Amino acid sequence: MNARRLYPLFYLYPALLIYLALFIFPTLFSFVYSFTDWNAYRDTIRFTGLDNFVKITKNADLMLSIGNTVLFAFVTSIGKNVLGLLLAVALCSRIGFKRLFRTVFFLPTVLSFIVVGVLFTALLHPDGFLNQFLGFIGLGGLRQEWLVDRSIVMYTVSFVDVWKGTGFHMIIFMAGLLAIPRDYGEAAQIDGANPFQEFFRIKLPLMMQAVSVNVVLSLIAGFKVFEQVFVLTNGGPGYASSVLNSIAFQMFGDGRWGLGTAMNLILFLLITAISFLMLAYFKRKEVDI
Amino acid sequence: MNLRLRKPAIALLTSFVLIMLAACGSGNKAEPSASGSQPASETPSASQETAPEKVTLSIMVGGNNKFYETITKEYTKRNPHVTFDLQTVDGSQYDTLLRTRIATKNLPDIIGHNVSDMARRYNPADNFVDLSGEPWVARLVNPDILKIGGKIYNLPFAASGSALGIVYNKKIFADLNLSVPRTFEELLQVSETLKTNGITPFYLGNKDGWVAQIWGLTTFSEVVKDTDIMDKINANQLKHADVPGFEEALGQIMQLFEKGYVNEDHLSVGFDGLGAAMNSGKAAMTVLGDFIEAGEQLGDYGIFATPGVDNPDLTVGTVTGWFISKNSKNIEEAKKFLDFWSQPDIIGIQYAEDPRFSAFKDVQVSFNPLMQGEYDEYISQGKVVRQYNDLIAVDTSELFRLYQDMFGKGKTPKQVLEAWDEKVAELAKAAELPGW
């Protein structure tokens, strides 16, 4: 069907121009800069090829930050989506106070990262609320240095992010659930399906679009993590909880701009690859009503 | 209205909105640096006859002491045509902001910064005004520590920098009959006595990188004193990992941790919490400097040099002061302001709030007991040593993070030194220092 265009094409040009100038061109330039030794200490820039990337692979701390980023992305994605789905199912069933719970669980999403960070820094302090509470209920042996112990700091940061982000994904799952007509569920029950079968065989496939959106969004947000790490630990202690973005931030502060841009290029490639893979995977799984 | 008339009208409106947005955006930036318009060659007599043009001096400082406002207000009172744009920048962002502004040639008229950083990173000869001929230079107590390439580029706030070492609670020491340790063994003994008496020997604030580095800094400074180690390192003829003194110094503080002499939550506490924690009396010592924020209980404290080696001197830092940007359009007014700042009654306002060893011969400062003790035992007898951070040719902020990594048990002292050597090599090559 050939719909008559309501507005001429050149209405697009101003916005397109701004988009090109402020987004596309700088991004392309940054890809070029990541192959140079651009830094704040000299006025000249030299093309150095893959030097920056070799440096990154040889540096244990930088590789740790890449590993932390991937770990964070997958842990928070799984956490947010599984919990979000459970909450969505619970809030779409026949329980009371649905509106209240919906608000309560969505509230953390609305808070700013800084607020959440300051709050949890106090809660997770060695003498803070969490450790005191554990001691109070007799689980004193579980007390940890949540934000300082190298082996668990990344999981602690992930936990705070899951706490904050689950509500958002819950809402999307609820939208997906509520769009499924009742008839399917009722027909399944008549045919003798138990709730699990009803959920996994009927509801979930029909919700695949919502799942796809949620998983890809949470993964991308997970790879781009910065504020959570910056406010809670600043990448510390040392480099234990550093992530790609926090390292790139440090490098820019240090004046080593070429290296920082290279880190960002790695991030871009990671996100693009994972997003395409995930989107393709879910596209195949989508079932239309 | 038909569509033929609407099309050009809409296009016109769109471009109009865009132009307005662009103008508003750049309009704000143009304000601070261009509002002073009089030429720099104005002679003093001329300014008295004609009403002087309005000048706004922009000043960038880190930290928010009240005396900045007090003094600038006083200057405006006496010179009504001058107003100030005081830009306070948080300490952690200061270096980044300064570096960006120098690179983009967008400096404010006056900048507060320290001499060694300026000399090392920001090429003062190119970016800042030579002040060697100013009237107040003759009154300086210690002009030598200001000289970069033989010239003076700043008005200093003090005759010497902050002292760094171990701040201790004199009352606790007196109660337990402890004397100031001058060797590392004595320090261990003192700590053991404190521990058996139920007092935490050390309360450290290692969450802040610049506090975490103080032990390394003060011990390294002693290791390199009166040697050519730093010259060799800066010329790529020696590596930190090859100097046994460095590894020993870091091993010493790790010993303090192993023996349980340090507060358990040291990585969760920063500078802000230190003053209050020390005042509560639960710990006897902290690795810090004479700038500890102890409020009224400041008199309870003394400072002694970190005994990494035997009978050490006190590590002192570089001096902070005012620099004038070469690109400023108000250089003469800025110079007048600096001269004003150096007057005894004016700089006295600064010293009253933030006592330092006076920069000028004709200005007396009354010290709090902590600084008086520091002065008597170390400064007046010349028992000082320049801090390592001023002697290394590259920026040390990465080293702070390496120390925190070591405290978090991510690296051994040897690994810290090796990683630091790598970082120094990178930074030196990036800056194209000779020898790299």
Of A14, A61, A126, which is closest to B264 when you measure between CB atoms?
A: A126
Digit-coded pLDDT (tens) for A235-255: 878 889 999 999 998 888 777
Give how far Cα A254 sits from Cα of A246, A260, B120, B146, B239, Å: 12, 9, 14, 25, 22
pLDDT of residue B391: 82
Q: A 194-223 residues with CB below 8 A of B?
A: none
Chain A residues in contact with B265 by the CB 8 A cut-off are: 125-127, 145, 148
Place of tokens 């007057």: B343
Q: Which domains does chain A have, with CATH numbers?
A: 58-285 (1.10.3720.10)
Evaluate whether B159 touches B141 at the Cβ level (below 8 Å). Answer: yes
pLDDT, residue B110, reads: 92
Cβ neighbour number for residue B360 with a 10 Å cutoff:
19
- A99-156 pLDDT per residue, tens: 899 999 999 999 999 999 999 998 998 888 999 999 888 887 888 888 888 889 999 9
How far apart are alpha carbons A34 and A55 in whole angstroms? 12
Task: Name the more confident of A95 and B3.
Answer: A95
pLDDT value of residue B23: 57
Give domain limits for chain B: 45-160+319-361, 163-316+371-430
Interface with A, mutate which of B401, B406, B411, B420 (most A CBs under 10 A):
B401
pLDDT, residue B241, reads: 92
d(CA A168, CA B96): 35
Q: Do the Cβ atoms of B18 and A14 come within 8 Å?
A: yes
Q: Searching chain A, which residue's CA lies closest to the CA of residue B14?
A: A14
Chain A residues whose CB is inside 8 A of the B402 CB are 238
The low-confidence residues of chain B, meaning pLDDT below 70, are 1-5, 21-51, 91-92
Q: Alpha helix (H) ranges present in B55-123?
A: 66-78, 91-103, 115-121
CATH topology of domain B45-160+319-361: D-Maltodextrin-Binding Protein; domain 2 (3.40.190)
Q: Does the distance separating the beta carbons of A240 and B410 come in below 8 Å?
A: yes
The reply to whether B163-316+371-430 shares the fold of B45-160+319-361 is yes
Phi, psi dihedrals of residue B163, rounded to the nearest 5°:
-95, 140
For residue A288, pLDDT over 70 is answered with no
Residue contact A236–B408, C-beta within 8 A:
yes
Q: What confidence score (pLDDT) does residue B47 get?
A: 40
CB contact under 8 A, A252 and B432: no
Average pLDDT score over residue span A70-79:
96
Q: What is the pLDDT of residue B27?
A: 42
* Helix, coil or strand: residue A42: coil
- Chain-chain contact of B404 with A126 (C-beta, under 8 angstroms): no
pTM (two decimals): 0.77
Contact residues, chain A, for B11 at CB < 8 Å: 10-11
SS3 state at B58: strand
- The candidate with the shortest Cα–Cα distance to B362, out of B383, B348, B378, is B348
Q: Which residues of B touch A147 (CB under 8 A)?
A: 268
With CB atoms and an 8 Å threshold, state whether B430 touches A42.
yes
ipTM: 0.79
The predicted model gives A188-200 an average pLDDT of 84
- Name the minimum distance, in Å, from the CA of A152 to any CA of chain B: 12
Residue % of chain A over a pLDDT of 90: 52
Q: Are B55 and B335 in contact (CB under 8 A)?
A: no
Q: Which of A23-32, A81-90, A187-196, B37-46 has the lowest mean pLDDT?
A: B37-46
Question: Is CATH 3.40.190.10 correct for B163-316+371-430?
Answer: yes
Residue B207 near residue B270, CB atoms below 8 Å: yes
A268 close to A249: Cβ distance less than 8 angstroms? no
Supply the mean pLDDT for chain A: 89
Taking residue A174's Cβ as centre, other Cβ atoms within 10 Å add up to 20
What is the pLDDT, as a whole number, of residue B373? Answer: 85
Asked whether the beta carbons of residue A125 and residue B268 sit closer than 8 angstroms, the reply is: yes
| pLDDT per residue as tens digits for the range A20-53 | 999 999 999 999 999 998 887 777 888 888 989 9
Among the partner-chain residues B14, B121, B406, the one whose CB lies closest to the CB of A14 is B14
The pLDDT, as a whole number, for residue B2 is 59
At CB < 8 Å, which residues of chain B contact A? Answer: 7, 10-11, 14-15, 18, 95-96, 99, 103, 121, 206-207, 264-265, 267-268, 395, 397-398, 401-402, 404-411, 419, 422, 426-427, 430-432
Given CB atoms, is A157 within the 8 Å cutoff of chain B?
no
How high is the pLDDT of residue B416? Answer: 94
C-alpha–C-alpha distance, residues A126 and A143, integer Å: 8
Query: Scanning every residue of chain B, which has its alpha carbon at the shortest distance from the alpha carbon of A59?
Result: B419
